[in-house]
Structure 1
Amino acid sequence: MSATPAPSPPSRPISVLSLSVPVAMGYVPLGMVFGFLFVQAGAPWWLALLASVFVFAGAAQFMMVPMLAAGLPVASIALATLVVNLRHVFYGLSLLDKLPVKPWARWYLVFALTDETYSVLTTLPPGTRTRQMVTVALLNQGWWVLGTLLGAVIGAQAQISLVGLDFALAALFAVLAVEQWRHADSAAPLWVAVVSYAVAWALLPQHALLSAIGLSVLAGLFWRKPAASEVTP
């Protein structure tokens, strides 16, 4: 008589708040910087808040401040935003199997797919519920909106400097990169990114980031994942 296999232990529930808190450590101060700069450029505080609610484009929002101050047309700003956020196309393609089926949830995740939200979503286990994925994205945007509101109010009431808070973005990317490394089966993607940026910086320093992204995409297209028989002893 064969023994009945023991049931597998239940998976530990996911705390979406704990997943979002590291993002908050970067988004709140950076959102404050954006709101502060937006108001200092002469725009009303409520317009900064609307930008973070309906645009939510991170670096493109910072780029938008001097362009609006210079009086550039909306079409030029939209084109520049498209170029800056073009990398999100590749993010979405790699998440097609994970995106929820429900249209409202799918479209919101497409809209809210920032670098940091993408990093968090890719570490979620298979079968994560739609509500949890949407909550993570919603919380991340909420931190950015909160920071924008605080910065806009401060910028409208006081003349202070927020210089130095932009380092929070570099620190946030470092934390997310470490988490990606810990959850990945191989460190190859990290080394591909590092080498790609080193090559791009040496050849095209003024366009290093865009060139590094292109090199990483090419490496991903031609990278052959080793079969299970090749990695098992």
Structure 2
Amino acid sequence: MKKQAMIKKSFQAAFPYTIPIFAGFWFLGLTYGIYMNVSGFPFLYPMVMSFIIYGGSLEFVAVSLLLGAFNPLQAFIMTLMIQARHLFYGIAMLDKYKGTGWKKPYLIFGMCDESFSINYTATIPKEVDSGWFMFFVTVLNHFYWVFGATLGGLLGSFIRFNTEGLEFVMTAMFVVIFLEQWLKEDKHHSAFIGIVSSILCLILWGPDHFMIPTMLLILFLLTLLRKPLEQTGGLSTS
């Protein structure tokens, strides 16, 4: 298969997976751009920040950081708390990113929640290059976010509407991704570990601080139970 044909086939395989992400990023990015505009920032700010930071919820928090007093330590701690889950994403993708060549730095930079979910769980056809597949998933999702944020920044001066609750679009999307993965698996041991760990940490640490303890607990349990889960087919290693 010629290289151009292989790249085209990889794009065609990746694009359908990103369509639900486009819907979520369109609304949330639009909201972010409008929020930046009404906070006093021109459209260049959401456009550049969405391209460089590409941090979703962190970008919303960055608005208040930009408007507040200069405090780099607070900004660092806030960023670490919000984005710490990406440390675990990176560990999970170590094997998958092997052999991706020049694409690897961008795959690492662009590994948002949605790209991680797709690239980790997608069943990639044998005739499709996995490196190019993951690259197109990542670059398409990145483009959707930048496009939505830029458009929101441009339209923010002309339209006014109540955006309260619009961010729930992303929560709903993750529920759909979870259900799709649930239906793919015959046994759901790893899913139950995630659910129970999340509920337990939510009770112990509350909704504002449970994310990092949850990730640590899930990582510990999956590492501890990896062999028995693999033997019973309750842990996917693909």
Q: Specify if TM > 0.5.
A: yes
**Structure 1 stretches lacking a partner, 5+ long:** 1-11
Q: Which residue of 2 aligns with 1:162?
A: 163
Instruction: Kindly indicate whether the alpha-carbon contact (under 8 Å) linking 1:25 and 1:172 is maintained by their aligned counterparts in 2.
Output: no
* Structure 2 letter corresponding to 1:91: Y
- CA change 1:169–1:182 in 2 (3 A) is same
Residue in structure 1 matching 2:53, options 47, 52, 55: 55
Distance 1:177 1:227, change over 3 A: closer
Counterpart in the other structure of 2:110: 112
Report the CA distance shift for 1:79/1:101 in structure 2 as closer, same or farther (over 3 A).
farther
Deviation by residue 1:9-55 (Cα, 9 ceiling, x = unmatched): xxx98621110001112111111111111111111111110001111
Q: 2:45, 2:232 → 1: CA distance?
A: 56
TM-score, with structure 1 as normaliser = 0.84
Counterpart pick for 1:207 among 206, 209, 217: 209
In the alignment, the residues of structure 1 paired with residue 204 and residue 220 of structure 2 have an alpha-carbon distance, to the nearest angstrom, of 17
Contact 1:116 1:176 in 2 (8 A): no
* Partner secondary structure for residue 164 of structure 2: coil
Q: Which residue in 2 is equivalent to 1:218? A: 220
Tell me if structure 2 keeps the 8 A contact 1:26–1:172: yes
Distance across 1 between alignment mates of 2:229 and 2:62: 46
Sequence identity percentage: 26
Structure 2 unpaired stretches of 5+: 1-8, 234-238
1:194 deviation in Å? Answer: 1.0
Q: Counterpart of 2:171 in structure 1: which amino acid?
A: A
Letter in 2 for 1:90: F
8 Å contact kept, 1:119–1:180 = no
Q: Structure 2 vs 1, CA of residues 158 and 59 (structure 1 numbering), >3 Å: closer, same or farther?
A: same
Q: Which structure 2 residues correspond to residues 77-92 of structure 1 after superposition, within 5 A?
A: 77-92=75-90
Name the amino acid aligned to 1:52: S
Q: Is the 8 A contact 1:17 1:136 kept in 2?
A: yes
- Amino acid of the structure 1 residue aligned with 2:93: L
State the number of aligned residues.
220
When the two structures are superposed, what TM-score results if normalisation uses the length of structure 2?
Answer: 0.83
Q: Indicate conservation of the 8 Å contact 1:123/1:183, yes or no.
A: no
Distance (Å, rounded) in 1 between the aligned partners of 2:229 and 2:29: 44
Map 1:30-179 onto structure 2 (within 5 A).
30-74=28-72, 76-125=74-123, 128-129=128-129, 130-179=131-180
Amino acid aligned to 2:35: L
Residue identity opposite 1:149 in structure 2 = T
Letter in 2 for 1:211: P
Match of 1:195 in 2: 196
Q: What SS does the corresponding residue of 1:156 show, helix, strand or coil?
A: coil
Offset at residue 148 of structure 1 (A): 0.4
Query: Following the alignment from structure 2 to structure 1, what is the Cα–Cα distance between the partners of residues 77 and 201?
Result: 24
Q: Residues 197 and 208 of structure 1 are in contact (CA less than 8 Å); yes or no, is this contact kept in structure 2? A: yes
Q: Which amino acid aligns with 2:226?
A: R
Greater displacement, 182-191 / 89-98: 182-191
Runs of 4+ aligned structure 1 residues displaced above 4 Å come to 227-231
**CA RMSD between the two structures:** 2.3
Farther-moved stretch of structure 1 (47-56 vs 77-86): 77-86
- Between structure 1 and structure 2, the one with the greater Rg is 1
Deviation at 1:110, TM superposition (A): 0.3
Equivalent of 2:15, from 14, 17, 32?
17
